[in-house]
Amino acid sequence: MSITKAEKETVILFDEADDRAEVYTHNTKLKNRLARAANKHPQTYVLKYQNSDGGVSYAFPKKYLTVMFREPISDTDRERCKANCRNVKPSQYRRENSTQEREYGADRTIPLPREKPP
């Protein structure tokens, strides 16, 4: 028996006493991100359990958890951003070739980093 969309929840648990966080989720994107992180860093991201309904729970250090809240953008700001994007010349930022001759010219030398004074 499958569960409803309302029952497919995501829960993020952590407290101030412990340095670990736990994420329980049914969200496919989040499950995939957690699985990739666990494959890449198995000692850091630990799969605690996986249930038959498709939910997974991972534990990892709390310092790797980020929660972002985005503010809504006003219509005037959105239009201003669109206008700015229309004014950008794509050729100005496109690289034709990544060779040094193309970037610096055949007659120019590559600048060396400056040394810090003692």
12-21 pLDDT per residue, tens = 999 999 999 9
Q: Is the pTM of this model over 0.75?
A: no
Q: What angle do CA 49, 54, 58 make, to 5 degrees?
A: 35
Residue range 34-47: mean pLDDT, rounded = 96
> What digits encode the pLDDT tens for the residues 50-94?
999 999 999 999 999 999 999 999 999 999 999 888 887 776 666
